[in-house]
Amino acid sequence: MTILPESTDQSDSYPQITDIGDSALMVLLGEGVSPLTNSVVHTMVREIQELGWPGIREVVPVYSSFVVHYDPLILSPSALTTLIQNIHGSVSSENTAADRRVILPTIYGGDFGPDLHSVGELTGCSVEEIVNIHSGTDYLVYALGFSPGFPYLGDLDQRLHCPRLDSPRVEVPAGSVAIAETQTGVYPVPSPGGWRLIGRTPVSLFDPLQDAPALLKPGDRLRFMPIESEDDYREIENKCNTGEYEAEVIYL
Amino acid sequence: MIRFIQPGTFTTIQDLSRAGFQSSGVPECGAVDKFSMKCANLLVGNLESEPVLEITLFGPQIAFENPAVVAVTGANLLPMLDGETVENWSSFAVPAGGILSFGGPVTGARSYLSLRGGIHSSSVAKVMGSYSTYVPGGFGGFDGRPLKAGDELEIRERNLNEFKHKAFSSHPQFSENALLRVILGPQDHLFTEDSISVMGDSDYQVSVDSDRMGIRLEGTPLAHLNSPDVVSDGTAFGTIQVPGSGLPIILSADRGTTGGYPKIATVISADHSKLGQLLPGNTVRFNVVTREMALKALREQERTLDSLRDVPTVSSIVKVAEERIDVVDEAGEMYPFNAAGNRFNASVRHNDHVENFEINIED
């Protein structure tokens, strides 16, 4: 049930605001996945959250859309729709630059990245090339979702594109750094998974007992930093376990 | 203190929800049947939001060390006190040494056990603002897991003498054939027209693979117009997503916060209670309704709960504007109202919970 009529003019077609049942609205800001649209998503979500309207329960951003959960006994969907349209009209469509870069030390290959060699065979890249390409760029955190703390990361280099595993692993260890198709990601908690594991970070991406349980925030830039030896990995891992390690965050 | 002699099939601590962390990928959690859960708390004079025990299918056997007042609501799992059947949807006193047990499921899937005074915070963990147990993540509630034999919970002290026996006479009846009202969308346009009518005209069976994450259905597959994939987006309680198989999945309390399958429709809030009570093999039928009908049904449901609530009386209306009025209660406290036409919805904070009601203004 789309509330707004479809427009033939592309620039006027968004936001598309649609009911998800009687107590949530889906707000779609564009087709596909783009950093620009995603940046507008997060700007709008922040503005709605800061308004703190009674009746707005929660606002959940994803790639090019967000969901506003509301209490229909307190807030009418038409009032909420007007609010969203007004905010959309007032936000700049310019890409707001990320304000944080989070560095994740990562050990590639061996027992930590059991699929590194198969990725090499599938892509024709050497192990060194894979590590250099994968760790040589910043990844945009489009959103967190799927499981606690799991980052949806943007835009894996085309040279590393390869299919998912034929049969998914029953359990992927926490911290596993993986790639599949056009994506790369990190598993914050142990879970089943069909992506190819190329490495592992000892840094915890999700701790339910922290005030901010997820290390990453939407809009962050994430950079993988190769760890040279297993000894170095164990040293960081020990510091993580005793709470001495603090993830490196660079404010841009 | 209470001690679990037997834990039952799947007994967890749940409150209303873990709101506010979906943007970190943390599921909403909370009781699947919130209507029955709130009812259980109101019957013993607790806040509606107090954590309770969510009991699935075969219930636990619980020994009470001290006298307590409890209520059991939701599914009829044959609650018994010292071997004698006790009434479902009512509160009752348990003597010191009393043993509460359950005979097995008669109707519905989940029962809610509230304890007057609530569970002591030394026994349960509040994580990200909620006591709800999220078992896949291992956090919240009792050690982040379902209860086991030997587990003990402390109950908060509360004067039990003040307590009056209460029963909820207008409680819902849960049927093996559930009629679920839905609002189409957000992605009904990604399905064939046929599929929309098939969804409204077919019986679906609840699969054994159903749990707190979602209810999987078996029956006539629904056809996508194009690909069964969409760019991952947000989900809501009751959203019906349809993966490549064409078989619908109704998303529930522990659902993933995002999903990449088209969502054909969403079950209305007033029928969420029924979702929590579906058993494998039950039949589900969908009925498409409007948003207005959904809101009317929700208000009616709230009104049935009002019979158990202590709703403050409005003493005067102090300001009327086009979109808003403010009212003052007997204690002189002012509350803002939001308007829709000449009908006003009020949300009145009462201690730390919010009561909702509506007023009609006549000229």
| B51-84 residue pLDDT tens | 999 999 999 999 999 999 999 999 999 999 999 9
Q: What pLDDT, on a 0 to 100 scale, did the predictor assign at position A155?
A: 84
Lowest-confidence region among A240-249, B307-316, B335-344: B335-344
Tell me which chain A residues have a C-beta less than 8 angstroms from the C-beta of B19. Answer: 57-58, 69
Q: Does A158 have pLDDT greater than 90? A: yes
From chain B, the residues in CB contact with A174 under 8 A are: none
Nearest chain B alpha carbon to A30: B231
Chain centroid, CA A49 distance in Å = 19
pLDDT band at A8 (very low <50, low <70, confident <90, very high): very low
Cross-chain Cβ contact A20/B22 below 8 Å:
no
Is the link from the previous residue into B262 a cis peptide, with omega within 30 of 0?
no
The two three-digit tokens of residue A124, written as one number: 């024709």
**Statement: residue A205 has pLDDT above 70:** yes
Task: Find the Cα–Cα–Cα–Cα dihedral B115, B117, B122, B123, rounded to 10°.
Answer: 0
Q: Does the structure show a pLDDT above 70 at B334?
A: no
Tokens representing B105? 């499921």
Q: Indicate yes or no: CB of B233 within 8 angstroms of CB of A77.
A: no
The band of A1, judged by pLDDT with boundaries at 50, 70 and 90, is very low
User: Averaged over B152-170, what is the pLDDT?
Assistant: 84
In this structure, is the dihedral angle defined by the CA atoms of residues A35, A41, A42 and A44, taken in order, positive or negative? positive
How close does chain B come to A170, measured CA to CA in Å? 14
A26-60 per-position pLDDT tens digit: 999 998 889 999 999 999 999 999 998 889 999 99
% chain A with pLDDT above 70: 93
Average pLDDT over residues A125-131: 97
Q: Does the pLDDT at position B255 exceed 70?
A: yes
Q: Which chain A residue lies closest to B231 (C-alpha atoms)?
A: A32
Q: Would you state the pLDDT for residue B350?
A: 55
**Which one of A45, A64, A79 has the shortest CB-CB distance to B338?**
A79
Chain A residues in contact with B258 by the CB 8 A cut-off are: 60, 62, 143, 145-146, 152
Query: What pLDDT does residue A7 have?
Result: 38
Nearest to A209 among B127, B186, B291 (CB): B127
Query: Where does the pLDDT of residue B341 fall: very low under 50, low under 70, confident under 90, or very high at 90 and above?
Result: very low
**DSSP-assigned letter for residue B174:** P
Residues of A in contact with B139 (CB under 8 A): 208-209
> The domain at B177-293 falls in which architecture?
Beta Barrel (2.40)
Q: What is the pTM of this model?
A: 0.88
Distance CA B45, CA B178 (A): 31
Which pLDDT band holds residue A6 (cuts at 50, 70, 90)? very low
Domain parsing of chain B, residue ranges: 2-153, 177-293, 310-360
Mean pLDDT, all residues of chain B: 89
What's the pLDDT score for residue B285?
Answer: 97
Lowest mean pLDDT among B115-129, B208-222, B332-346: B332-346
> Which residues on chain B are in Cβ contact (under 8 Å) with A74?
338, 345, 347, 356
Pick the closest to residue A41 from A18, A22, A59, A19 (CA basis).
Answer: A59
Residue B202 binned pLDDT confidence (cut-offs 50, 70, 90):
very high
pLDDT of res. A190: 85
Domains present along chain A, CATH in parentheses = 10-90 (3.30.1360.40), 100-251 (2.40.100.10)
A37 CB neighbours in chain B (<8 A) are none
Q: Per residue in B132-143, pLDDT tens?
A: 999 999 999 999
Distance of CA A38 to the CA centre of its chain: 11
The average pLDDT across A223-242 equals 94
What is the SS3 assignment for B292? helix
Q: Is residue A142's pLDDT more than 90?
A: yes
Q: What confidence tier does B354 reach under pLDDT thresholds 50, 70, 90?
A: low
**How close, in Å, is residue A119 to chain B by CA atoms?**
25
Candidates A23, A33, A205: best to mutate against B (most CBs of B within 10 A) is A23
Rounded to an integer, the average pLDDT of B21-36 is: 96
Angstrom distance (rounded) from CA B250 to CA B248:
7
Given B239, B258, B345, which is nearest A62 (Cβ)? B258
Kindly identify which residue of chain A lies nearest to residue B264, measuring between CA atoms: A20
Among A19, A59, A73, whose Cβ lies nearest the Cβ of B291? Answer: A19
Q: Measuring CA to CA, which residue among B275, B286, B277, B282 is closest to residue B208?
A: B282
Give B360's pLDDT tier (boundaries 50, 70, 90): low
Give the confidence band of A167 by pLDDT, cuts at 50, 70, 90.
confident
Contact assignment for B23 to A28 by CB distance below 8 Å: no
